[in-house]
């Protein structure tokens, strides 16, 4: 692989060196150093030392650096797309969509430093009282492998823009597209040394980062199980924490829906990026009168889709990220069929390429419903009416997103109000996001809408109240 990123990174770290493998072929793409706890502590210490100077940098210059990072990324977009396709198993369309979203995040963040950052407060004569936003200090960002560049950048970019230093730990599966690319674009943009540090590694590095005394906030995107551990650790240390976790999202099809349009949106929701997205449609809940038509058309669409190497052939779906995840998807499908579900499409794999799968006759207690699959599987449940559809949709600990397909916007809005999720799309699909919306979930999906341009000031700064008099005033004592 050629380009500005290179195929060796972070050498000389204490955790040794590991190969980075292309999930579609098993080919070694490069080598990467792995950070141990001492490496993480050194990175955090350096970031903490650099942060005051960065916070004192003129707001216009901070914004300019983020704009230059976006421009550099845009110039090298072909290189980055190749890394996203080959390292994370993205099809080219998904990779380019991710790249565009990263650019949106950078441009939105670049506008933050020059926004008003305080309030003039009422007070008594002779005293000036005001509140101003101040950076938190060092923000730890722990990002996942499935959308590696975007899901790190959406926390990292606004945190930097508002005067924080950042230590980023990308996932072990995607250290180049999730870490090295980010490091390179900000270095090219002129970000001062140590304001951003990248520490690739596994659980040891993650634990050390969360525990580091100088870290004021942890922004984590990943599994609910790990998120609970991070929330407990960070909360116990009274650190701010942002948790963007899993999802088991409902895709509800009402009896007045355009079935063909619903099938198109439902297929995208379940099969996009092999279903390896927290916003994926994990449960298709369809009213009985249109259920069989919906299943037949969804299965036919799944059969037409291709799964293969996205870098070397034209494919609608790429590989599952690794063998452990492939086995998990296959286990859930096999156990659901054994429990009585009807396999209508897929259910097989060739190497790491799992066929888009449709399961009918699914009941609420089957594994494909109770577990977050994180694979290209569409389980279909049948509901007698709207009330049962709502009950089925809310029968989960997750609360990220949902979609409702209907011929009536009013009916869709009324049903949306009854769904216990942070996001609902009426006549859309479950996968939707941009830099300008409040994004986040409830329950096991996270601790609220933590991302989005309007949320960034609340997320990555804290208030400080100041009062000033021209001279001291004697107290009553």
The residues assigned a catalytic role are: 244, 278
Structure tokens at 249: 């999202």
Say if residues 302 and 271 touch (Cβ distance below 8 Å). yes
Question: Which residue in 356, 336, 338, 359 sits closest to 348, CA to CA?
Answer: 356
Interatomic CA distance for residues 102 and 282, integer angstroms: 25
Structure tokens at 135: 């950076």
Structure tokens at 384: 């007698």
SS3 2: coil
Name residue, tokens 């003039």: 120
Interatomic CA distance for residues 205 and 216, integer angstroms: 17
SS3 121: strand
Torsion angle in degrees (nearest 10) through CA of 143, 221, 271, 314:
-10
Say if residues 319 and 86 touch (Cβ distance below 8 Å). no
Interatomic CA distance for residues 319 and 308, integer angstroms: 7
Distances (CA, A) of 460 to 333, 450, 451: 41, 10, 10
Interatomic CA distance for residues 391 and 370, integer angstroms: 14
Name residue, tokens 């999730």: 178
Interatomic CA distance for residues 404 and 438, integer angstroms: 19
Burial 214-246 (b: 16+ CB within 10 A, else e): bbbbbbbbbbbebbeebbebbeeeebbbbbbbb
- Length in residues, the chain: 477
- Which helix (DSSP H) or strand (DSSP E) does residue 40 occupy? helix 37-55
Residues in contact with 447: Cβ distance below 8 Å, sequence separation at least 6, in sequence order: 231, 241, 242, 243, 440
Kindly give the pairing relationship between strand 398-399 and strand 439-443.
antiparallel
Radius of gyration of the chain (CA): 24
């Amino acid at each position: 692989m050629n380009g500005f990123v290179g195929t060796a990174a972070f050498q000389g770290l204490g955790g040794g060196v590991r190969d980075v493998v292309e999930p579609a072929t098993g080919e070694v793409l490069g080598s990467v150093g792995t950070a141990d706890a001492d490496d993480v502590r050194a990175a955090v210490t350096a970031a903490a030392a650099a942060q005051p100077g960065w916070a004192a940098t003129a707001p216009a210059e901070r914004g300019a650096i983020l704009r230059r990072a976006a421009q550099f990324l845009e110039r090298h977009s072909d290189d980055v797309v190749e890394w996203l396709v080959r390292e994370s198993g993205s099809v080219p369309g998904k990779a380019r969509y991710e790249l565009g979203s990263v650019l949106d995040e950078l441009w939105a963040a670049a506008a933050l430093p020059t926004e008003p950052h305080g309030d003039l407060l009422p007070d008594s004569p002779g005293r000036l009282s005001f509140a101003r936003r101040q950076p938190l200090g060092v923000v730890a960002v722990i990002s996942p492998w499935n959308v590696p560049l975007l899901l790190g950048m959406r926390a990292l970019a606004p945190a930097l823009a508002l005067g924080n230093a950042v230590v980023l730990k990308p996932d072990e599966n995607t250290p180049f597209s999730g870490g090295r690319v980010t490091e390179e674009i900000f270095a090219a943009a002129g970000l001062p040394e140590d304001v951003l540090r990248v520490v690739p590694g596994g659980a040891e590095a993650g634990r050390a980062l969360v525990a580091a005394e100088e870290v004021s906030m942890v922004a984590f995107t990943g599994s609910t199980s790990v998120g609970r551990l991070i929330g407990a650790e960070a909360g116990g240390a009274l650190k701010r924490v942002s948790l963007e976790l899993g999802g088991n999202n409902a895709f509800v099809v009402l009896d007045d829906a355009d079935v063909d349009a619903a099938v198109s949106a439902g297929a995208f929701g379940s099969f996009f990026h092999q279903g390896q997205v927290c916003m994926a449609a994990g449960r298709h809940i369809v009213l009985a009168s249109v259920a069989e038509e919906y299943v037949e058309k969804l299965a036919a669409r799944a059969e037409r889709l291709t799964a293969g190497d996205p870098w070397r052939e034209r494919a609608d779906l790429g590989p599952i990220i690794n063998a452990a995840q492939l086995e998990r998807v296959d286990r859930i499908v096999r156990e659901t069929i054994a429990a009585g579900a009807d396999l209508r499409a897929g259910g097989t794999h060739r190497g790491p390429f799992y066929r888009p799968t449709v399961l009918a006759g699914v009941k609420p207690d089957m594994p494909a419903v109770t577990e977050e699959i994180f694979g290209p599987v569409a389980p279909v449940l049948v509901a007698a009416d709207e009330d049962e559809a709502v009950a089925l949709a809310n029968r989960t600990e997750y609360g990220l997103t949902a979609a409702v397909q209907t011929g009536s916007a009013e009916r869709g809005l009324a049903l949306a109000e009854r769904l216990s999720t942070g996001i609902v799309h009426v006549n859309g699909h479950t996968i939707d996001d941009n830099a300008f919306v409040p994004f986040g979930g409830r329950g096991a999906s996270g601790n609220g809408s933590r991302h989005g341009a309007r949320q960034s000031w609340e997320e990555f700064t804290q208030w400080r109240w100041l009062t000033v008099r021209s001279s001291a005033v004697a107290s009553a004592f």
